[in-house]
Amino acid sequence: MRRIGPITAYGPLIIAALVMKGGTALATVPPGVSGGRSDTQGPSHSTRASSSTVHPMRVTPPGPRPASDRKAASAVRQPGLEQITVTSEHRRENPQKIATSLSVISGRELAARNVNSVFDLQYLTPSLQVTPQFGSGQPDFEIRGVGHQDYGSSNVSPVGVTMDGVAIPVPWASNGLMFDVARVEVLRGPQGTLYGRNTTGGAINYVFNQPTDHLAAGADVQIGSFSAQKYDFFLSGPVAAHVRMRLAGESQQGGAWQYDGAGAHLGATDRTALRWLTDMQVTDRLKAALDMHGSIDRSDGAGLHLFAPQTTQAVYRPGAPVFPQDHERDITRWGTSTSFARLIGISPGDKPYHHIDTGGASFKLDQSLSFATLSNLASYDVSSRREYDNFDASALALADVAFNSRANVFQDELRLVSTPGKRLDWVAGLYYGNEYLADQYYSGFTDATGLDRGVFYSTKVNTISGFGQGTLKLLPRLRLVGGVRVEHESRDLHDYRAFTYDLAGNVLNPGNRVARRTLDYTLPSWKVALHYDLAPHDLLYVSVSRGINSGGYTTYNTTNAQASSNPYQPEKLLAYEIGNKLDIPAAHLRLNVSAFYYDYHDQQVLSAAVNSQTGLIGAIANAPRSHLAGGEFEADWSPLKGLMLTQSGGWAVGQFDRFDAVYAATRVNGVFVPVTQNKKGVSLPAPKLTFNGSAVYRWRMGGYEASLGLNYSLRSTYRSLFGSLYDVAGYTLWGATASFAPHEGWWSLSAFGNNILDKKYDVTRNFFLTGDNIGLSGMPGVYGLRFGAHY
């Protein structure tokens, strides 16, 4: 039986207690005035990031707001389409006039839905998949089926992640705390003609709350199931003439929901982060912004379970026992051998852990010129990853791994944006990036092969690019968009060593090393689009764009470093898209739809290779030709005063057109050899359908405001390249929210329930060695209470 805490047991009663009869319905509150900075707060001096909102009708639960926000909210009393000014393309414009498919999740919605990490974002927006690879601390992002399933440290995802305009190219560094967030923007399709870095799948942009023109402060305390706790605070305002600051932080603790059957628990969170922002109006034409941030993570790792019998020992040692599959999703096991524990510096019984630390700073200058604004954004970030995982869901050392990685990233982007209001609007810029990574990656196979392994290397990446995009008004209703980006990248692999250790820790193959590998390329990406205004609130657009994603190296275990270190090539994606953005103000309805077709060349796929001693191992390969097709819709409707209904959905299907992949390993004369399969016509690994929806009702009760909401997220079966055994079954999760606060008051009380029907499901399934059939269970039903005080 799964153990539950008092909040889990009484969660439904807590939410029900907040629902009160009677009262007056409230109008919808657009996110532009309910979270983060809005135009109602007076002139903005923020120069740190662009912002975008595509759900101006979406309801957010009532709660404490800055004084200017409270004034704006109280002024809105009827449902309707609020027109929000945004700057997602480096200029102020209506988001419904931006010809691209994107979704925006407000900071208040993130808090109301208890979104604590990047892995929860997929339940709030269509066509997004975020998976912890093998249950590790490294997220894999997929948008419209375009992603990179890699648990290693050195490679770049086809989905870009930025934080206040600064790219996060190191994959594990994107799994940080999501606090003091104004909004998260999810852009679908190739990006790059407006920014310094290029992607094939899309981008996820975090926009943080900025310093305010008035003194403001707040704190939130949250308690939840399994003794989970979360503490947030911020302090913001002017500190001198033309200087504003904002200090914000968050700490998450507890929440261990898995156990080993003997009383030891796993899954506790222990992480803390701070962010300090400073804005300065240096002169009438010059603005400056400084961002300093850091985080410390000492959390437990995630526990895996056996979704099918584990035959690994029997494969390598005929006659060894077969372990039965697990039937309790919250039971897990861990442990390793004495030799592997000594190799990575732990005790054999230590719990898995994810220790990821980050720190850095960015500095931005904006200089207003007579014809444009000249901006320069420079940043330097450091991060480290110390992680120990059990990829065998057992106390044996069949497939245990550890990472000891550190990375330094310097970036500088110079951008010139034309003054708005002309017939031709344009953006042009230059980008330079320098990355250094030093990685140690260990694998413990003691109880399978009698050996342990270690991989050591460093990579150096230099990227230089030039980009530009223009929008030309051809006719009063017709606009032409054209953009181009040319990127040169050199990615060097240094001193790649793949060692095998005996049980005494002796290296058996000291010569298995490669001094250096180099991958260089210079490639263009581009975009052409037409926008046509069918009516004042109805935009039709078509676009064709080309995206590039960097190549790299498979830095996994191998007995042949020379062969395994051959680089895989950059992938190229040609995207065709058509979409329509429609507002019907009289009906309080917004409907955005889009459809796409992707033509893939050299798609980067986590396939498999064969180690002659251990069998199948993961390897990244290029699939020469493949394609994807699908679409999305997003709808917001306020049919009654105080009631908001939202619904979104995504559909994506794809196939390999040409790809011969390693499918299995068979033992011949004591040595494993590969078995290949023609993958033509095989579906690409992505859920075909994703749906998300919510209903929120807000009403007034005297001097108080209350809300009650219900939400759901559905995704269809995830098809694995490794056969139906590793398919992840589709699932639907239901959630609920409630809130209560005095009208224009300083405090608020809210409650949430996630997975309230306690659905049993997996978020990923995989294998690390042959017969190692492991899955990561999704979170069970959890409930929580949050109290906030804002001034």
- What count of Cα atoms within 13 Å lies in the side-chain half-sphere of residue 593? 6
The whole-number pLDDT of residue 471 equals: 95
**Under 8 Å between Cβ of 577 and 599:** no
For range 349-361, the mean pLDDT: 95
How many whole angstroms separate alpha carbon 510 and alpha carbon 504? 15
Helix H or strand E encompassing 108: helix 107-112
For range 428-434, the mean pLDDT: 97
pLDDT in tens, 752-769: 999 999 999 999 998 888
The whole-number pLDDT of residue 93 equals: 65
Helix/strand number for the chain, H first, E second: 8, 39
Listed residue (658, 702, 785) closest to 225, CA to CA: 785
> Does residue 37 register a pLDDT over 50?
no
How many whole angstroms separate alpha carbon 610 and alpha carbon 633? 42
DSSP state of 552: B
For range 326-346, the mean pLDDT: 93
Burial class (CB in 10 A: 0-12, 13-18, 19+), 266: buried
How many whole angstroms separate alpha carbon 431 and alpha carbon 24? 54
Q: How confident is the model at residue 88 (pLDDT cuts 50, 70, 90)?
A: low
- Within its chain, how far is the Cα of 179 from the centroid? 14
Higher pLDDT, 17 or 559: 559
> Does residue 508 register a pLDDT over 60?
yes
CATH class of residue range 6-790: mainly beta
Which of 233-242, 258-267, 643-652 has the lowest average pLDDT? 258-267
The whole-number pLDDT of residue 685 equals: 84
Sign of CA dihedral 252, 776, 619, 191: negative
Phi, psi of 71 (to 5 degrees): -65, -45
- Within its chain, how far is the Cα of 156 from the centroid? 13
Mean pLDDT in the chain?
86
| Strand pairing class (202-208; 159-163) | parallel
**Under 8 Å between Cβ of 250 and 177:** yes
In the chain, what is the straight-line distance between the N-terminal and C-terminal CA atoms, in Å? 44
pLDDT in tens, 375-394: 999 999 999 999 999 999 99
Higher pLDDT, 733 or 721: 733
How many whole angstroms separate alpha carbon 149 and alpha carbon 577? 25
Q: Which two tokens stand for residue 490?
A: 């050199």
Residues paired with 128 in a beta bridge: 143
The whole-number pLDDT of residue 62 equals: 42
Q: Which two tokens stand for residue 316?
A: 């390598």
> Please, where are the H alpha helices in 189-329?
312-316
Sign of CA dihedral 119, 123, 124, 126: positive
How many residues are given for the chain?
791
Residues 6 or more apart from 709 whose CB is under 8 A from it? 59, 61, 112, 694, 695, 696, 697, 736, 737, 738
Q: Which amino acid is at 353?
A: Y
What 3-state DSSP class applies to 169?
A: coil
How many whole angstroms separate alpha carbon 524 and alpha carbon 546? 8
The whole-number pLDDT of residue 292 equals: 98
What 3-state DSSP class applies to 724?
A: helix
Q: How many CB atoms lie under 10 A from the CB of residue 712?
A: 17
The whole-number pLDDT of residue 17 equals: 38
Listed residue (454, 214, 175, 255) closest to 342, CA to CA: 454
Q: How many CB atoms lie under 10 A from the CB of residue 292?
A: 15
Residue boundaries of the structural domains of the chain: 6-790
How many whole angstroms separate alpha carbon 180 and alpha carbon 233? 8
Largest CA-CA distance found in the chain, in angstroms, rounded: 82
E strand residue ranges, 564-670: 571-584, 589-611, 615-637, 643-658, 660-668
How many whole angstroms separate alpha carbon 330 and alpha carbon 334? 13
> Does residue 150 register a pLDDT over 50?
yes
Residues paired with 407 in a beta bridge: 383, 437
